[in-house]
Chains A and B, each alone.
Chain A
């Protein structure tokens, strides 16, 4: 739909008069800037038209509150913003960690950065770093490009489940790279493991405790047991980092607490969590909401029970109105809306009401 028609449609749904021009301009600017790029919109579909159709589902008396959600609360992380975070990861996190380790190992003051970076161990640790993607949002290719050639193809993999052939290739490449660098390292094993992912809303995907079966579940449990097979990692000297481009405070607290319990119980090295863009609790749609917005989110008519399935059940809530694990987020990622956001944002297109940025669900989420 053409922009002018979409704006007319929006004005009609909202019963706006001419004094709403400022609101329209702001929405149109942000649509151009990021909202139009939502990758789950159908072909030719743009934000303003989608917004009008989404608002049209609600009672006229609720529409202003729904617009308030978009205008004042929505956090949309565009593809460009996520790419920008990825470009900062290598120089501002990965390199800084290597500097810290080499400084500690060799008793060099941490501020002497050029001396540390010139130490052969700094280069050795570069070679002995392994980067594994935890989902298809991990942007492993972008991270490799952002390292300006410092991460080789055989040090980075888009998945954390590694076949034996892949491991053999990685170790062969590691051995060659160490020889080329003139390293006299006794072990051709990795020292630093970087686990990469784009977003965490609750942290449950990575680590959770199944009270019924009294065991830990999640990706971290699988990764640690894989690493401790001993063929890939130098078990006497290793660090595991979970690098999340975006994570909520709820997820950070959850992962830090349960990962500490998990690693200490199993005798593993503690997990080190690094987050490039934390989403603080103030952003959650629970405390500072206006009464009309609260009413909109909680109203039975604005929620489809079919959204609550065996996957959302794992989050421990009775319904998915506030999203998985009751995270109550107003967050949308350009490639998909996380189900930790409120239902009104991610509700699939076939449900009623549908979300403003309908989500495409993965087969297995948790």
Chain B
């Protein structure tokens, strides 16, 4: 397991983490955020900039990449909020560096719309082209759509960790040449419940790099295990995936629900909400339900990874399997699922198993501009690679 030891901080602990991470060295940070309507990203960025400025650290060539995306239908006040957000994020970051806007998707040179999957691929390539030379890469998912941050997360991990094999004789893969890759989330559970994702697209998106098991003819006969991660108000998105050709009638279905949760009835309510497509149809049974901690991405990662490994090991005896995850839950659980998918994904398909992430992206978001503006999010930070996972040679030989 790659993240057997992990670095995860919430609330005030995040500032202590940054103090430790930045102190006494020169940093060259690349901050990747969203050019979206969710103004919680401002609080996250402001905290980050204040922390960097307050540390005894020399900052060089700091850059913010603001990812833009098109194709969503938003009310006018939310559109206006998107513009204000962009201006504010640029202003906040100007205290330490420059900002560049980077659109994902939209018309190509020939004015033709490209598919979402291709737009994601092209966008990620543009981000990857900018990574060289940065000591710290920070992905702030607070204002990014789920398909965008999942694509960025998995592809950046792929970039920093080209070889996932843990060899005691060699440096741990997570050292990643010393580049500190961290993911930030500004969360406000009460506000999340007021942002409605509506009208899922008819075009299912397959997260780039996680599509072969759902498309390659030679693999389509393999049994499929589906892990839909349940979240409120997304039954129609689940149904889009369920009713597609990707999920066969004989699929093993293991819904994942949040537990423990601040609301101890949350898992029960979600099962009732999804009972129509999942249980009433006989597709799955309540004994197949898995649990993942609502606000601990590394716990969710561990649960999902161990379930996937268990299925893989059993199914390999039968000739192989396809492991498919559809993340509809909170951002923190989705991050955990992303880590599990990354680690589980084989380097090539000769392994007789693979991982797929199909998703039905909503085309419309409805939110209250006033509630968004008043939100005071809790910040979470996950350090995924870099010095946290290195060992100074002298340490291991120090006597007890």
What is the interface of chain A, defined by CB distance below 8 A to chain B?
25-26, 29-30, 32-34, 74-77, 80-81, 84-85, 88, 91-92, 95, 99, 106, 108-115, 117-121, 123-124, 181-185, 276-277, 279-280, 283, 331
How many angstroms from the CA of A280 to the CA of B264 in the assembled complex? Answer: 9
How many angstroms from the CA of A118 to the CA of B286 in the assembled complex? Answer: 41
| Interface residue from B268, B293, B392 paired with A88 (Cβ < 8 Å) | B293
Tell me the number of A-to-B contacts counted with CB atoms below 8 Å.
107
Pairwise interchain contact B291-A84, C-beta atoms closer than 8 A: yes
Residues of chain A within 8 A (CB-CB) of B7 are: 111, 113
Residues of chain B within 8 A (CB-CB) of A76 are: 268
Chain B residues 3-32 with CB under 8 Å of chain A are 4-7, 16-17, 20-21, 23
| Chain B residue with Cβ nearest A122 | B400
Q: What is the CB-to-nearest-CB distance from B344 to chain A, in angstroms, rounded to a whole number?
A: 18
Residues of chain B within 8 A (CB-CB) of A112 are: 387-388, 390
| Interface residue from A29, A77, A92 paired with B299 (Cβ < 8 Å) | A92
How many angstroms from the CA of A77 to the CA of B261 in the assembled complex? Answer: 12
How many angstroms from the CA of A34 to the CA of B268 in the assembled complex? Answer: 9
Pairwise interchain contact B260-A29, C-beta atoms closer than 8 A: no
Pairwise interchain contact A30-B20, C-beta atoms closer than 8 A: no
How many angstroms from the CA of A91 to the CA of B8 in the assembled complex? Answer: 13
Q: Please tell me if B111 contacts chain A, counting CB pairs below 8 Å.
A: no
Decide: A115 near B395, CB < 8 A? Known: A77-B264, A85-B260.
yes
Residues of chain A within 8 A (CB-CB) of B285 are: 32
Pairwise interchain contact B20-A111, C-beta atoms closer than 8 A: yes
Q: Please tell me if B399 contacts chain A, counting CB pairs below 8 Å.
A: yes
Residues of chain B within 8 A (CB-CB) of A109 are: 20-21, 23
Q: Please tell me if B43 contacts chain A, counting CB pairs below 8 Å.
A: no
Chain B residues 283-304 with CB under 8 Å of chain A are 285-286, 289, 291, 293, 296, 298-299, 302-303
Residues of chain A within 8 A (CB-CB) of B387 are: 111-112
Residues of chain A within 8 A (CB-CB) of B262 are: 280
Decide: A111 near B17, CB < 8 A? Known: A26-B272, A118-B396, A182-B400.
yes
Q: Please tell me if B91 contacts chain A, counting CB pairs below 8 Å.
A: no
The list of the 5 closest CB pairs from A to B, nearest first, reads A277-B260, A120-B400, A33-B286, A113-B5, A109-B20
Chain B residues 250-286 with CB under 8 Å of chain A are 259-260, 262, 264-265, 267-268, 271-272, 275, 279-280, 285-286
Decide: A115 near B392, CB < 8 A? Known: A26-B272, A110-B16.
yes
Q: Please tell me if B316 contacts chain A, counting CB pairs below 8 Å.
A: no
| Chain B residue with Cβ nearest A331 | B264
How many angstroms from the CA of A103 to the CA of B384 in the assembled complex? Answer: 19
Pairwise interchain contact A30-B398, C-beta atoms closer than 8 A: no
Q: Please tell me if B383 contacts chain A, counting CB pairs below 8 Å.
A: yes
Residues of chain B within 8 A (CB-CB) of A75 are: 264-265
Interface of A is mostly: helix
Residues of chain B within 8 A (CB-CB) of A32 are: 285-286
| Chain A residue with Cβ nearest B279 | A29
Instruction: List 11 contacting pairs A-B, 8 Å CB cutoff, sorted by A.
Output: A26-B272, A29-B286, A33-B289, A81-B259, A88-B293, A88-B296, A91-B302, A108-B395, A109-B20, A182-B400, A276-B260
| Chain A residue with Cβ nearest B291 | A84
Q: What is the CB-to-nearest-CB distance from A270 to chain B, in angstroms, rounded to a whole number?
A: 20
Interface 0/1 of B356-400, CB less than 8 Å to A: 000000000000000000000000000100011111100110111
Pairwise interchain contact A185-B5, C-beta atoms closer than 8 A: no
Q: What is the CB-to-nearest-CB distance from B308 to chain A, in angstroms, rounded to a whole number?
A: 16
Pairwise interchain contact B395-A111, C-beta atoms closer than 8 A: no
Residues of chain A within 8 A (CB-CB) of B289 are: 33
Residues of chain A within 8 A (CB-CB) of B391 are: 114-115, 118
| Chain A residue with Cβ nearest B278 | A29
Given A29-B275, A114-B172, A331-B264, 17 further pairs, Cβ under 8 A: A30-B271, A33-B271, A81-B260, A84-B291, A92-B293, A99-B5, A111-B17, A111-B387, A111-B388, A112-B388, A112-B390, A113-B6, A113-B7, A114-B389, A120-B400, A121-B400, A280-B262
Residues of chain A within 8 A (CB-CB) of B298 are: 92
| B21, B264, B271, most chain A CB atoms within 10 A | B264
How many angstroms from the CA of A95 to the CA of B6 in the assembled complex? Answer: 11
Q: What is the CB-to-nearest-CB distance from B34 to chain A, in angstroms, rounded to a whole number?
A: 25
Residues of chain A within 8 A (CB-CB) of B268 are: 30, 33-34, 76
Pairwise interchain contact A113-B264, C-beta atoms closer than 8 A: no
| Chain A residue with Cβ nearest B261 | A277
Pairwise interchain contact A25-B275, C-beta atoms closer than 8 A: yes
Pairwise interchain contact B291-A119, C-beta atoms closer than 8 A: no
Pairwise interchain contact A92-B272, C-beta atoms closer than 8 A: no
Decide: A114 near B390, CB < 8 A? Known: A33-B271, A109-B20, A277-B264.
yes
| Chain B residue with Cβ nearest A245 | B260
How many angstroms from the CA of A283 to the CA of B263 in the assembled complex? Answer: 8
Residues of chain B within 8 A (CB-CB) of A77 are: 264
Residues of chain B within 8 A (CB-CB) of A88 are: 293, 296, 299
Pairwise interchain contact A92-B296, C-beta atoms closer than 8 A: yes
Q: What is the CB-to-nearest-CB distance from A260 to chain B, in angstroms, rounded to a whole number?
A: 21
| Interface residue from A25, A34, A74, A119 paired with B398 (Cβ < 8 Å) | A119
Residues of chain A within 8 A (CB-CB) of B279 are: 29
Residues of chain A within 8 A (CB-CB) of B396 are: 118-120
